[in-house]
Amino acid sequence: MTFGYNANLSKDTISGRIAEFAENLLADLQAERAYDETDQQRPIIFICHSLGGIVVKRALSVAHGRPIYNTLLNATRSIIFMATPHRGSDKASWGGLAGRILGCAKLFTTQTTKLLEELTPFSDILEDYNVDFVNISPTVQIISFFEKEPYVPIGLIVDEWSAKMEVPSETAKIAVSANHQNICRFESEESHEFQTFWRQLRLLVFKAVSGGSRRVGETSLATVTAPAELTG
């Protein structure tokens, strides 16, 4: 399953908010798996790029507090974060990070949007999201990929420090010779970058379908991205 959301914030200031994206993700995923008991028990692996990782963290935190989503939360085995900004060192760094991400997505605008506000420390919302997710992270295996190449002309969008969660369940932190957009675009299946990604994903799938006493079927891969970030 692929979940996309409207990242064109210059035209969308109301629905373009992380909390609403997270609610939509939960509703779509719940509906996708509602047909029978086997669907509901299939393990889930999330693959997220950039702000998509924040959407997933928020969604799982929401699911943690709502019994209706217990099956989704219990089925979530692992998350692959690709250049997701987990943390900033101070208020200035959060504001700069927000600007770089929107600039990479070609979304610079003079209009202040609600999502941009949520990506600055002045509301502390992003930090709250991170803390909420850290509390449930021990139940989820995490692999983080981070970019090593600058996005011209802006530079490095999400640096290594921000792209790492540094929690015990984060079992791998992998550098990729790509910029913020290309980190989730692979030249071919034979490329080194794809093979590195595939080996990690294959290991997660193996663990998901063979571990524990839970009944499992096919693994559900939920890819969460912002189309405007990936197709620029």
Q: Where is pLDDT greater, at 155 or 16?
A: 155
pTM of the model: 0.79
Exposed e or buried b per residue across 87-102, where buried means at least 16 C-beta atoms within 10 angstroms of its C-beta: bbeeeebbbebbbbbb
Among 38-52, 66-80, 115-129, the least confident range: 115-129
Least confident range of 40-49, 84-93, 148-157, 216-225:
216-225
Element (H, E) at 210: helix 192-210
**Backbone phi, psi, residue 201, to 5°:** -65, -45
pLDDT digit string, tens, across residues 136-179: 999 999 999 999 998 887 788 888 988 999 999 999 999 999 99
pLDDT at 99 over 90: no
Average pLDDT for 58-74: 93
The pLDDT mean for the chain works out to 77
Amino acid present at 220: S
**CB 79, CB 56: distance < 8 Å:** yes
Domains and CATH numbers, the chain: 2-230 (3.40.50)
